[in-house]
Amino acid sequence: MEEMHVLLRNRGKIIPTDAKSYMSVGGYVALKKALSMEGAEIIQVLKDAGLRGRGGAGFPTYLKLQFAYNTQSDEKYIVCNADEGEPGTNKDRVLLSEDPNSIFEGMAIAAKAIGAHKGFIYLRSEYPYIRPILIEALESARQAGCLGKNILGSGYDFDIELHSGAGAYVCGEETALFESIEGNRGEPRFRPPYPGTKGLFGKPTALNNVETLANIPPILLNGAEWYRSIGSPNSPGTKLFTVCGNVNKRGVFEFPMGVNLKDILYDVCGGVADGELLAVQTGGSSGAIINPDQIDLPLDIDHVSASGGRLGCGTILVINDKNCVVDIVKNNLDFFRSESCGQCTTCREGGTRLYELICHISSGKGTLKDIETIKDLANTMRVSALCGLGHSTAVPVLSSLQNFEEVYNRHLDGNDCSICGHDRGY
């Protein structure tokens, strides 16, 4: 099965830090086109194309821009969320390090759409080697007239500031990210107001993921009809997938939305390594854990949501039978409880309690009552946590309970698990 490179089209073909190298393969042509358009026209093209967010819940991109466009303000902002903190995810890192100008161009087009003159890239702190790449690439884009004053001779001003995070997973949440840029503790805000009306520094703000922004130039260049010809009806375009775990070929791949998970696992990645397939987790640590009977699954936003998870960042974690699903979930919960900002009680206390209960089950001391408590608590977190971190904590828990009930039952009332045996002392 062949990949389809729309976002990775320049991989290995250009000098990443050189704007003129990017321009030699058609870069910034879409921006030049956008600079001659009205903001409403740009937003309409993205609406017609059906572009949806590539980092989280798949929210329509045009709506984020529309909200900011409709809000009157003396200043507006475009923010690129490059805080790629989902464990096992590498796709934004590839774009940032190998084709940063595609992100700058997407930001500039989005800025023209809403009337913003300044943008921010919020870079994950664990990507220190990417920071100098972006600094050099930004300066090159300014020298080429693609950023700064009077971009491409249009009379329109737009520039980008680079801001590095401090390692907090919760700052991937948009309002916590705003707080961090403003110099505050990274904690989610209560909403409303929403970022489109009151975001960064209290101004209308459109925030999008790295991959989402990189989709904008090819859409403007080739048109909405072209974009809709790729992928599935409700999830047009391509998607970057990071395949990791117990699989023979790992890496970042690009396929049309709707590609079958089973085809990626066996045709592209050569199947399961060092054992038989036990489970697959789609969408990173915050995604659903499905069993081998469920992997004949079209990978687009709606199909994955219907399976109980979310496509999200596109990470595919392959798990072989030398692992235990309960142990995997315990590891997920350990991550989420440590990354909770502590602001809301539901996430702070609920995440810790879920971890304790899963440890109890992992140790062979759990009961059916513990299972029911876990379900109740996870469902409460899913609907009442302040931000996506608390909501996401519930997904691997509930999906694993649904899809691997017999595995949990084997851990109850002193039954043995050879994988989790080292936890018997808990």
CA pair distance 410, 298, nearest whole angstrom: 31
Residues sharing a CB contact under 8 Å with residue 306, sequence separation 6 or more, in sequence order? none
Give domain 325-423's CATH number out of 1.10.3720.10, 3.30.200.20, 1.20.1440.230, 3.40.720.10: 1.20.1440.230
| Nearest C-alpha neighbor of 109 from the set 64, 78, 138 | 78
- Helix count and strand count (H, E) for the chain: 17, 13
Which pLDDT belongs to residue 426?
33
Structure-block tokens of residue 167:
């390692």
Residue 326: C-alpha distances to residues 55, 100, 354, 364 (Å): 26, 39, 12, 11
Helix or strand (DSSP H, E) at 406: helix 405-410
**Side-chain-side CA neighbours of residue 86 (13 Å):** 32
Which pLDDT belongs to residue 425?
39
- Ranges of H-type helices in 206-344: 210-222, 224-228, 261-263, 301-306, 325-339
> Is the Cα torsion angle 6, 12, 16, 20 positive or negative in sign?
negative
Residue at token pair 């790629």: 84
CB 311 within 8 A of CB 55: no
Secondary-structure class of domain 236-320 per CATH = alpha beta
Which pLDDT belongs to residue 423?
45
> Is the Cα torsion angle 17, 161, 89, 221 positive or negative in sign?
negative
Residue type for position 250: R
**CATH T-level topology, domain 19-229:** Rossmann fold (3.40.50)
* Angular region, 132: left φ>0, alpha ψ -120 to 50, beta rest: alpha
Which pLDDT belongs to residue 421?
66
Structure-block tokens of residue 370:
């513990």
| Nearest C-alpha neighbor of 111 from the set 55, 149, 60, 69 | 69
Residues of the chain with CATH 3.40.50.11540: 19-229
pLDDT, one tens digit per residue, over 243-256 is 999 999 999 999 99
CA pair distance 150, 132, nearest whole angstrom: 25
Residues of the chain with CATH 1.20.1440.230: 325-423
The pTM for the full model equals 0.94
Residues of the chain with CATH 3.10.20.600: 236-320
- Ranges of H-type helices in 197-300: 210-222, 224-228, 261-263
Which pLDDT belongs to residue 100?
99
Structure-block tokens of residue 275:
């054992």
Q: Which residues of the chain fall short of a pLDDT of 70? A: 413-415, 421-426
